[in-house]
Structure formats: C-alpha cells, structure tokens
Amino acid sequence: MKNTKYSVLMSLYYKEDPNYLRESIESMLQQTLKPDEIIIVKDGTLTPSLEQVLNEFANEPCLKTIPLRENKGLGEALNIGMNYCKNELIARMDTDDVSKKDRCEKQIKMFEENELLSIVSSSIMEFEVNIDKVKSIKRLPLTHESILKFAKKEIPLTILL
C-alpha cells in the first residue's frame, strides 16, 4: 500500500455524549493506516465535559479543532471543516461513530485500486450505550445498479471517504 495521506473530518455539537466522542477519536487514532490529521469542527459552544474530552487529546499532533462561535448546523460546519483539510482524501465520520481499526486502510486501498472512485462507503453496526452490544447491522448495496435502486428509497451512503 502506498503511503497515502488522508484527513478525518468530524463536526461536534454540544448535545454529543462525551464518552462517544472519546471512543470515536480513539478509534481513529488506532487505525492501522494512521490519519495525517483529524479535524474536529466545534459547531458552537460546547459543554465543559466535551471540552474536557478534547483536552485529553490536546497532545495528539494530528488532532486540530476548529471553533465556530455559533452553531451553523452539520452541513455548514462540515463545509467549513473541509477548507481546513489538507489532503485530497477525507474520511467523514460522526462524533458518535466508532470505526474498526482497518476501516481507513481498506477504504484507501479501494481508491488505490480504482482511480475512478469518488466516494467509498461501508455497512454500519448500530449500538446503544455499549459498542459490544450490536443492535442492528445496516448493509448497503455494492453494485452500481443496486445503489441506484436503493437510492430511490434511502441514502446509499453511511460513511464517506
């Protein structure tokens, strides 16, 4: 595998659970292919407990926070955050997502194998409170035709890179 660099982009809102945020950041720091940078957009004022979690990772050289004075909403916060990402490839995840250790390695390998790819997604396992207790697995279509059919009812992406 090439030494492909990528950014991770997250938007953090004051209602997020601090424990989920911690697990989310840790799952990115533990990737088999390490991110070049993790950009977390602070979408408005955060709770002290969320700020505390971010402070726990203050010594991580790849983690950068972008503070917004007021809440802009997910879409605008992510658009602002994209301007701070220095890499062409961006792994998008929510601050309550936990990625498997090889998520980014597998997704970047797909880009290296097919130059025509623009977006890569994956299935997701949903859990409540405890990551070890999977509530459901959402599998997404894999072929172009099945994606088009699925897209008539639902968004065929869960995690973008």
Residue 53 belongs to a domain with what CATH number?
3.90.550.10
Whether 110 is covered by a domain: the verdict is yes
Structure confidence at residue 1 (pLDDT)? 59
Sign of the CA dihedral with 67 first, then 71, 77, and 83 last: negative
Whether 69 is covered by a domain: the verdict is yes
Structural domain containing residue 28: 6-151
Position 155: which residue type? Answer: I
The DSSP code for 154 is: S
Q: Are 80 and 41 in contact (CB under 8 A)?
A: yes
What are the tokens at 2?
A: 């090439």
Whether 140 is covered by a domain: the verdict is yes
pLDDT, tens digit (0-9, with 9 covering 90-100), for 10-52:
999 999 999 999 999 999 999 999 999 999 999 999 999 999 9
Structure confidence at residue 159 (pLDDT)? 44
| Those residues with Cβ within 8 angstroms of residue 129's Cβ, 6 or more apart along the chain or in another chain | none
Span 129-148, average pLDDT: 65
Percent of the chain at pLDDT > 90 equals 60
Structure confidence at residue 161 (pLDDT)? 38
Q: Report how many domains make up the chain.
A: 1
Task: Tell me the whole-structure pTM to 2 decimals.
Answer: 0.83
Whether 157 is covered by a domain: the verdict is no
Whether 89 is covered by a domain: the verdict is yes
Whether 59 is covered by a domain: the verdict is yes
Whether 38 is covered by a domain: the verdict is yes
Whether 25 is covered by a domain: the verdict is yes
| Those residues with Cβ within 8 angstroms of residue 92's Cβ, 6 or more apart along the chain or in another chain | 8, 9, 10, 78, 159, 160, 161
CA angle 55, 56, 62 (to 5 degrees): 85
DSSP β-ladder status, 37-43 and 6-12: parallel
Q: How many angstroms separate the CA atoms of 26 and 141, rounded?
A: 28
Confidence of residue 64 (pLDDT cuts 50, 70, 90): very high
Q: Share the mean pLDDT of the chain.
A: 86
- R_g (Cα) of the chain, nearest Å: 16
145 by DSSP, 3-state: which? helix
